[in-house]
């Protein structure tokens, strides 16, 4: 197929849910064509015949194609009837499948949109939590810290990132904020709901070991304030003072596996926010 200056008519994806399956079908098909300029328009959460009438009129005026994944029998029948009357190409990828499955199972389909997503909601929530946590690692996007369910705070090498990711896998949106010696904490941190903020502490000797290992991996020679025992002690004490002064919860991660630290964090959230422990 050669490229053309004329725009292709759009594809309308009509769904009782968010339209993800219909959109995926359309994009899978379009990927087989090198030169297309075809817009995909999602029409989600269709619950009324009036919504179908509106999209059918729009498709008729643009010469568009409709892909519908409506599981409600009445709405699907209305779509079939209205598109036939307007001579619009309407593709129903789920209707025949539902009929076949009804025959072989001896059951009628429930006809409720969004059931697949509802069944997989825990999975989608976990993916969303992981994406959020990755975007808010190491003090990134301070304007969005208030959207986090948990905010971890600590000096360098207290394990904020791995602990954040472990909590995210368990479905929590986490931001982590580093504390830097002689640098005032971000005002955004002090404006947060303190019940959601957890400060991490660690034994100075173990922190020194972690930082020395990091320096060796990075090939940084010699001593520095980063690995000076006196500086480390003062960093930890400054962090402890910050936590207590602002009413932040404290978890000591010394000699603890991530799982144990995570359980402590979630127990604190349970007590502070009265939410069920996950």
pLDDT of residue 200: 98
Q: What is the mean pLDDT of residues 17-21?
A: 87
Q: What is the pLDDT of residue 277?
A: 43
Please tell me the predicted confidence (pLDDT) of residue 4: 41
The class of domain 121-273 in CATH terms is alpha beta
pLDDT for position 80: 94
Which of 134, 126, 159 shows the shortest CA–CA distance to 257?
159
State residue 94's pLDDT score.
Answer: 83
Q: pLDDT digits over 201-256, tens only?
A: 999 999 999 998 888 888 777 678 888 999 999 999 999 999 999 999 999 999 99
Q: 145 — alpha (psi -120 to 50), left (phi > 0) or beta? A: alpha
pLDDT of 84 strictly over 80: yes
Phi, psi of 145 (to 5 degrees): -60, -30
Whether pTM exceeds 0.75: no
Q: What 8-state DSSP symbol labels residue 149? A: S
Q: Rounded to whole angstroms, how far apart are CA atoms 23 and 21?
A: 5
Position 7 scores a pLDDT of 64
Higher pLDDT, 161 or 106: 161
pLDDT at 26 over 70: yes
DSSP state of 15: -
- Per the DSSP assignment, residues forming a β-bridge with 198 are 152, 249
* pLDDT (average), residues 99-104: 79
Boundaries of CATH 3.40.50.300 in the chain?
Answer: 121-273
pLDDT of residue 220: 79
pLDDT, tens digit (0-9, with 9 covering 90-100), for 107-126: 877 766 666 666 667 788 88
- What integer pLDDT is reported at residue 3 of this predicted model? 39
What pLDDT, on the 0 to 100 scale, is given for residue 278?
A: 46
Mean pLDDT to the nearest integer, 81-87: 96
CATH assignment of 11-119? 3.40.50
Which of 33-37, 126-130, 141-145 has maximum average pLDDT? 141-145
As a whole number, mean pLDDT of residues 140-168 equals 97
């Amino acid at each position: 197929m050669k490229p053309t200056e004329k725009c292709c008519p759009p594809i309308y994806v009509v769904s009782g849910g968010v339209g993800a399956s219909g959109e995926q079908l359309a994009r899978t098909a379009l990927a087989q064509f090198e030169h297309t300029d075809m817009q995909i328009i999602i029409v989600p959460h269709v619950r009324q015949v009036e919504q179908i009438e509106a999209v059918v009129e729009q498709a008729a005026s643009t010469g568009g194609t409709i892909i519908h994944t409506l599981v409600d029998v009445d709405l699907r029948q209305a779509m079939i009837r209205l598109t036939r009357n307007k001579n619009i190409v309407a593709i129903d990828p789920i209707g025949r499948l539902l009929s076949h499955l009804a025959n072989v199972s001896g059951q009628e389909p429930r006809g409720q949109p969004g059931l697949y997503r509802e069944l997989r909601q825990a999975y989608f929530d976990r993916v969303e939590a992981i994406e959020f946590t990755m975007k808010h690692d190491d003090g990134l996007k301070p304007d969005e810290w208030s959207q986090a369910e948990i905010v971890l705070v600590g000096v360098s090498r207290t394990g904020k990132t791995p602990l954040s990711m472990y909590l995210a896998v368990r479905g929590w949106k986490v931001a982590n904020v580093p504390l830097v010696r002689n640098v005032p904490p971000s005002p955004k941190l002090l404006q947060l709901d303190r019940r959601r903020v957890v400060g991490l502490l660690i034994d100075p000797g173990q922190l020194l070991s972690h930082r020395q290992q990091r320096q060796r991996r990075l090939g940084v020679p010699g001593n520095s304030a980063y690995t000076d025992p006196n500086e480390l002690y003062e960093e930890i004490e400054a962090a402890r003072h910050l936590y207590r002064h602002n009413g932040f919860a404290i978890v000591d991660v010394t000699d603890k596996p991530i799982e144990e630290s995570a359980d402590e964090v979630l127990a604190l959230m349970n007590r502070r926010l009265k939410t069920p422990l996950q």
